[in-house]
Amino acid sequence: MRMKKVLVTGIVSKAGLAELEKKCEVTYSEIPFKRSWVLEHLSEYDGVILMGMTADKEFIEAGKNLAIISVNGVGFDHVDLTAAAEQGITVSNSPQSVRVATAELTFSLILAAAKRLHEYDSIVRSGSWVDVSEERYQGLTLDQKTLGVYGFGRIGQTVAKYADAFGMKIIYHDHVKLPEKVEKATNATYVEFDTMLSEADVITIHAPLLESTRGIFNEETFKKMKSSAYLVNAARGPIVSEAALVSALKHHEIAGAGLDVFENEPRVSEALRTLPTVIMAPHAGTGTVAGRQEIATEAAANIISFFEGKPVNVVSH
């Protein structure tokens, strides 16, 4: 019986592919394949670890013999699930491995935004100085403040645990209220969306990008938030209207933001880039050596389990 052929479309941790290479014929390059090459050769493969590329209808149709697409990450909004289902292709993601690294970066953004580190750093680097005795230069103490978590899955719950250790009150909103044992473990309370907006001193986003979440943080939303509140997004950029965020920051409707994702990344609007009250990262939530190895290992394990007849992390089939 021939070994299954698996294509890795982008740069992943080579160490994470070790087990997969024992069981499958793996095509991988540390110089990313061009999309044109992938489309030309995709019909030769049984499985794909998807990284750095969109699996749209064109991609799906080119994979005439594909049985599985394993996404090297948790988000799968760049996969045409309808086209994949029509062609009988299973789609899996990698939700376990992204949790800690993304939660750590999220809390770094919370701290950096609330403590105004970007502004302080820029001032000191310019050779200037400020007196933080003046209220206009002061940040936010997190102890006893309220963290609102929008999307209370694995990452959101982990961020909540970090916030609890800092003495914050945790409220969350999701499409459903979670079981009492989950709330007790995270010391979190379910609230309606508008309640979260009005009560939270910091809001952190951990929801998937769906039609129901796209642009949900918009002009109307920001007007419901505290003028002293901060917004952090390490989930998906289009959940936040960038133009509305810029306007809210310029008009002091909210105090600041920490962003790891953007509406039109990698392009970030000049208006957002020039605001001193925003700290930004280049979609680096999982950008640690351990984090990237764990993601590749999970994505590869999805492929192995699927061909062994025990599919895991399935989001569509």
Q: Pick the closest to residue 16 from 101, 89, 94, 85 (CA basis).
A: 94
148: which strand partners? 171, 203
At 9-46, the pLDDT tens digits run: 999 999 999 999 999 999 999 999 999 999 999 999 99
- As a whole number of angstroms, the distance between CA 126 and CA 121 comes to 9
Handedness of CA 172, 178, 180, 183 (dihedral sign): negative
- As a whole number of angstroms, the distance between CA 235 and CA 307 comes to 30
Residue 159 has pLDDT above 80, yes or no: yes
25: which strand partners? 5
pLDDT reported for residue 165: 98
In the 8-state DSSP scheme, what is residue 87? Answer: T
Relative to beta strand 90-92, strand 314-316 is antiparallel
Residue 1 has pLDDT above 80, yes or no: no
At 90-134, the pLDDT tens digits run: 999 999 999 999 999 999 999 999 999 999 999 999 999 999 999
What residues act catalytically?
Answer: 236, 265, 283
Residue 2 has pLDDT above 90, yes or no: no
Over residues 41-53, mean pLDDT: 97
pLDDT reported for residue 84: 98
Residue 160 has pLDDT above 80, yes or no: yes
pLDDT over 90, % of the chain: 98
SS (H, E, C) 223-274: HHCCCCCEEEECCCHHHECHHHHHHHHHCCCCCEEEECCCCECCECCHHHHC
pLDDT over 70, % of the chain: 100
Assessment of whether the complete model's pTM goes beyond 0.85: yes
Under a CB-based contact definition with an 8 Å cutoff, are residues 140 and 298 in contact? no
At 244-277, the pLDDT tens digits run: 999 999 999 999 999 999 999 999 999 999 999 9
- As a whole number of angstroms, the distance between CA 65 and CA 99 comes to 32
Q: Could you tell me where the DSSP H helices lie in 13-153?
A: 18-23, 35-41, 57-62, 81-86, 99-114, 117-125
pLDDT reported for residue 175: 95
Measure the CA dihedral 280/284/287/291, to 10°: 120
CB atoms near residue 272 (< 10 Å):
18
pLDDT reported for residue 30: 93
What mean pLDDT is reported for the chain? 97
